[in-house]
Amino acid sequence: MTGVGPISIAGLVNVRTRHPEAIAEAAARRARRSLLGDRGRLMIVAADHPARGSLAVGDHALAMANRLDLLERLCLALSRPGVDGVLATADILEDLLLLGALEGKVVMGSMNRGGLAGASFELDDRFTGHRAEDLARLGFDAGKLLLRIDYQDPGSLTTLHSTARAIDEMAAHRLPVFVEPFICHRADGRLLSDLSAEAVTRSIAIASGLAGTSAYTWLKVPVTADPDDMARVMETSTLPAVLLGGEPGGDQEGTYEKWRKALRLPTVQGLVAGRSLLYPADGDVAGAVDTAVGLL
């Protein structure tokens, strides 16, 4: 049960092959809604990981590689009451458009996917996804960008500069942009995100001050390593924020409790979660999504 009926990969390929203009036509007639809606809270399902080559869920290295399976999970999640929309790259959003799964939903385009997972240039997060003009042309509702900063990597300055200009471009179109900031460092060749209260606080301060205006800037922030620190961390900015779902783990109930506490804070307006909802340990996508919606 996906909420849109059986999905035919052959059907999607046929449209893409013979009628590529159908994507723009579906975007033009899509029923739109306000960002927060009547409830005033935001529940977004994220699926922009594959475009960075990040396909793993737990021990399954290629869990997100099966597009039919991913689309079925996304359509099921989007069909659940209280789910406001989806964050994804162009290819996935266009599949969902053709399936009719984005009617009345918030559609958020992923803007920079150049920092491929595990690559030597992972921190060179170039804007290889949606541009502000693409989101405006398609009538999408917001954009999201990833801002990872390594104090030991001079290239982070380039990332900061390109991020600021992307925020400016989104503001020029009056489109909200969700900035996901991290302080990072490398250890044994791997890029690690620092989730300490001090690091998350610093990342929020940096992200909040980028660009010529913050009028359309939202923050997308992780829950700190010690969730009791979140109240102090979120005092760093008056920008509206959503929580980042993070990696799925074995302690799902513990994760929900962390989200529940952080969602009470005044600047926190909702939740954006991906693999933890689409690939829960027990396999119950609907149950995981419904639980997350209930936290709001």
Residue 188 counted as domain residue = yes
Check residue 50 and report its DSSP letter.
G
143-172 pLDDT per residue, tens: 999 999 999 999 999 999 999 999 999 999
Domain assignment present for residue 3? The answer is no
Q: What is the CATH number of the domain that holds 71?
A: 3.20.20.70
Q: Would residue 72 count as lying in a domain? A: yes
Q: What is the pLDDT at residue 134?
A: 98
Q: pLDDT tens-digit profile of 39-79?
A: 889 999 999 999 999 999 988 999 999 999 999 999 999 99
Lowest mean pLDDT among 10-14, 24-28, 249-253, 292-296: 249-253
203-230 residue pLDDT tens:
999 999 999 999 999 999 999 989 899 9
Residue 227 lies in a domain: yes
Average pLDDT over residues 181-203: 95
Q: Is residue 4 situated within a structural domain?
A: no
Domain that holds residue 44: 9-295
Using a CB cutoff of 8 Å and minimum separation of 24, what contacts does 293-296 make? 293/43, 293/80, 293/81, 293/82, 293/83, 294/82, 295/256, 295/259, 295/260, 295/263, 295/271, 296/39, 296/41, 296/43, 296/82, 296/263, 296/270, 296/271
Which residues on neighbouring strands pair with residue 109, listed in sequence order? 88, 143
Does 259 score more than 70 pLDDT?
yes
Residue 235 contacts by C-beta under 8 Å, 6 or more apart in sequence? none
Share of the chain above pLDDT 90, in %: 88
Q: Give the model's confidence band at 2: pLDDT under 50 very low, under 70 low, under 90 confident, else very high.
A: low
Per-residue pLDDT for 233 more than 70?
A: yes
Q: How confident is the model at residue 251 (pLDDT cuts 50, 70, 90)?
A: confident
Instruction: Evaluate if residue 246 carries a pLDDT over 80.
Output: no
Q: How many domains does the chain have?
A: 1
Residue 94 lies in a domain: yes
User: Is 1 within a domain?
Assistant: no
pLDDT tier, 94 (very low <50, low <70, confident <90, very high otherwise) = very high
- Structure confidence at residue 1 (pLDDT): 45
Look at residue 230 and tell me if it is in a domain. Answer: yes
Mean pLDDT of the chain: 94
Q: Is the pLDDT of residue 34 over 80?
A: yes
Instruction: Output the six-digit token pair for 284.
Output: 């119950």
Q: Which of 109, 89, 110, 92 is nearest to 101 (CA)?
A: 92
